[in-house]
Every structure is written in structure tokens, then in C-alpha cells.
Amino acid sequence: MGERKTVRKWFWVWDFDKEERWLNEMALQGWVLDGVGFCTYHFKKCEPGEYAVRLEMRPHDESYIAFMEETGAEFVGRFTMWIYFRKRVEDGAFDLYSDIDSKIAHLDRIGRVLAVIGGLNLLCAFMNSVGVGTWVGVLNTICATVLMYGLGRIHGKKESLQQARQLYE
Amino acid sequence: MIENMALTESTYYILLSLVSPQHGYGIMQQAEALSNGRVRLAAGTLYGALSAMVDKGWIRQLPVEEGSRKKEYQLTEKGRSVLGNEVARLRELADNGERILGMAQEE
């Protein structure tokens, strides 16, 4: 017991489901998430398959975390607006969202943040192109482009859920 | 207008679970038991639904007992009438389905 390791890995924001899948594969291999940072994941040794891990984007809300803990989940950590939970598999099924509407609401939250940051970068790009720092402007334009691409990916995920929502709830 | 709209399955089972006071985890267990394990409310979905229902006045949060962090909720009169309307709507759906499918079988 007590063995730990740190893995550095990059995930795009719109690949949060891929990130979650990877964290659960790690748990299956006996490494459960124990802390998060910028592109950094801390793990501690566990029984293979002992835990399920979930993540989501949600503005800071202590009462939400208390609510999650009340349902048997453990708060692992937070990086920016992303929060990470784990729960013992033997304590029952673990999902954060069980209907289409709340999944869409989650994507909307992510989309709004990407839109705001993307918009700010666009504004900076414009202001820098007028001023001296041309290369900073180029950097801002690249950031804005990446964020807009991300917004498109999130929108795509949302559209397929909305299509399902026309027939199911 | 909203009174005529269909409740989601989650909403329906959350309201049914709150006929007597219940905390979050209790609601999840109750909904699962009532539906024979079919309806599993996820905590994030439940959290959002509870605050929306408190805003609508369908349920109310009970005063938190000292030394406990668990918030308990209970159905209000308004919530009970929303639930009553929904039961009538569901009965209509089921009756029509049975009647029409039943006729189709006789032909």
C-alpha cells in the first residue's frame, strides 16, 4: 500500500470523455486517480477494478461536492473548472448524469466557457494586430482558432444528443 | 401551460420518492426500488433537478438538523397536485395504448 505515481498527459477539453475512459482504464490496471494538476495525474495503487472515476466541468460549488460525497462518491480534486470523483465499484453504479437533458446542460456549460475564452483571444488578437506585439496577436489568433474548433466539437456532441432527445428523454 | 406538460421520468420518480422526507441518496435508492432497479438517478442529474423543483415550489428543503450536513426534501401540496395530474396523463397514455393495440389484435 502507499505506492504512487504521476503521469503527464494532455487531453483536449472536447475529449473529456476520452480522458475519463483513460482514467478508468488506469483504475482497472490498479491505479486510481488521487490528484490532478495541469496535464498531471497523480495515482495511487488500488485493487484492479476497485474504483470507477468520473469527471465533469462545473463552476465552483461546495454544496454539490457535499451532495456527491453523501451519495458515496469521493472528491479527488479540481483543476480549473474540472472536478474529479471516484467511487468504489462495490458501492454501486456511478454516473454523474442519467438523462439526456443533464448531459446537454453539461455540454452547454463547457461550450459557454470555450466561447468566452475564444472571444477574449479574438479580441486580444485584434488589439495586438493594431499595436506592436504582432507575434502575440498571431498566438491569440491560434488560440482563438483552437477554441472555436473545440466549440464545434462540443456542438457536434450536443447535436447527436438533441437528436436522441426528440424521441427519448 | 406548464401544468399540461409531461414530466420526465426522473422528475416523476423524484417527486414520488419525496412523499415522505428524504435526503439525496435516499431519493436515488427509493427511485431504484420503486422501478425495480430500472431507474438509476445519477447524482449530478438529481442535484440539478432538486434545485429546479425547489424553485418551482414542488418540493421544499427541510431545516437541516444540527450536526448533519445532509439536506432533506419533501413534497409540497403543489408538488402533490403536479404528481396527480401526471398520474392521470400516464393513465390516459396507457389506456389508449392498450385499447388501440388490443383492437389491432382482434382484426
For residue A56, what is the DSSP state?
E
- Model pLDDT for residues A66-98, shown as the tens digit of each residue: 999 999 999 999 999 999 999 999 998 899 999
Cβ neighbours, 10 Å, residue A9: 10
B2 within a domain of the structure (yes/no): no
Expressed as residue numbers, the domain containing B52 is 8-106
B26–chain A Cβ distance below 8 A for any pair: no
Interface test with A, best of B47, B86, B93 (most A CBs within 10 A): B47
Nearest chain B residue (CA) to A62: B69
pLDDT, tens digit, 9 for 90 and up, residues A136-153: 888 889 999 999 999 999
Q: Which of residues 44-103 of A touch B (CB under 8 A)?
A: 56, 64, 66-68, 70-73, 93, 95-99, 101-102
Task: Please give the Cα distance from A78 to A56 (Å, whole number).
Answer: 10
Distance of alpha carbon A60 from alpha carbon A67, whole angstroms: 13
Q: How many domains does chain B have?
A: 1
Cell of A128: 495586438
Quick check: A64 and B24 CB within 8 A? no
When pLDDT is cut at 50, 70 and 90, the band that residue B68 belongs to is: confident
Q: ipTM score here?
A: 0.87
CA separation (Å) from B83 to A1, A72, B15, B77, B103? 51, 29, 7, 10, 30
* Chain A contact present for B43, CB below 8 A: yes
Nearest to A67 by CA among B54, B50, B52: B50
B45 inside domain: yes
User: What pLDDT was estimated at residue A53?
Assistant: 98
User: Please, which pLDDT band fits residue B1 given cuts at 50, 70 and 90?
Assistant: very low
Query: Is B1 inside any structural domain?
Result: no
In a domain, B87, yes or no: yes
B51 interfaces chain A, CB cutoff of 8 Å: no
- The H helix count followed by the E strand count for chain A is 4, 6
Q: Quick one: DSSP state of residue B76? A: -
> What pLDDT, in 10s, does the model give residues A9-51?
999 999 999 999 999 999 999 999 999 999 999 999 999 999 9
Q: Which amino acid is it at A71?
A: T
pLDDT value at residue B54:
97
Q: How many CB atoms lie within 10 A of CB B17?
A: 22
Helix (H) or strand (E) holding A64: helix A62-70
Domain of B22, CATH number, reads 1.10.10.10
